Amino acid sequence: MNDEKRAAVVDLEGADLGQPQTTESEQPTTIPSPMAIMWKEIYADKLALFSLIFFVSMMVVVFIWASQLDPREALRLNLPTRNSPPTWELNHSFLGSDVAGRNIVPLMIIGARNSFLLSLMVALSSSVIGIIVGLVAGFYGGQVDNVIMRFIDFMTIIPTLMVIIVIVTILDHSVLNFGMAMVIFGWIGMARSMRMMTLRQGVMDYVSASKTLGTRNLVIIFREVIPNIMSFMIVITSSSKA
């Protein structure tokens, strides 16, 4: 009996009581980045993953095909072949021609490329501006939120279509200028939506705890707030592109 007690005392003395005992399975937790959360949610939804693959594949085909076409040749008039029906014969369009005799397939591919470029430029630019403005307004609140929202209210009352027409008329008639004119007003809806979601997240306990611990505001926004509203940001950005 005494030998067992001595062995137990020796074991306790040899153990490091000051250090917490950890197992090999315990690993330090890391906070996933917003992009990692986005890809995880897309990968979990098979329909969303298939839609993304199909959309990217279609864009690649359209851009490669459009790069091989000559816009001047596609717009060249050919009155003898006007309103020709679809056919599979060689040197003819399988979709036919329009009233000016132009092949419909090159026009469709070039138009699809321009539509993709315009929608991507407007959607991404408007989303970036709207997300930044909405996050700042919703997170900081107070006078910052008041000033930003009054500016958004002023932008809302401006006749959007009229201003876009004036800008495109004054500047060169190009896709870039038209896209820039649309971005001027396209971020307003995104900013309002992001402000609403940020206000909801700002009253959560995890944000209050981070502020109490002295975490910087930018760290809270990028590490805490954005990952929790990433799915909402994806939906809003996708719908704005559509």
Q: Which two tokens stand for residue 169?
A: 């008329």
Q: What is the pLDDT of residue 92?
A: 58
pLDDT-based confidence at 9, cuts 50/70/90?
very low
Contacts of 224 (CB under 8 A, 6+ apart): 201, 206, 207, 210
Q: Which amino acid is at 172?
A: D
Q: Please state the pTM of the whole predicted model.
A: 0.67
Give per-residue pLDDT as tens, 188-242: 888 898 898 888 888 888 888 888 888 888 888 888 888 888 878 877 777 766 5
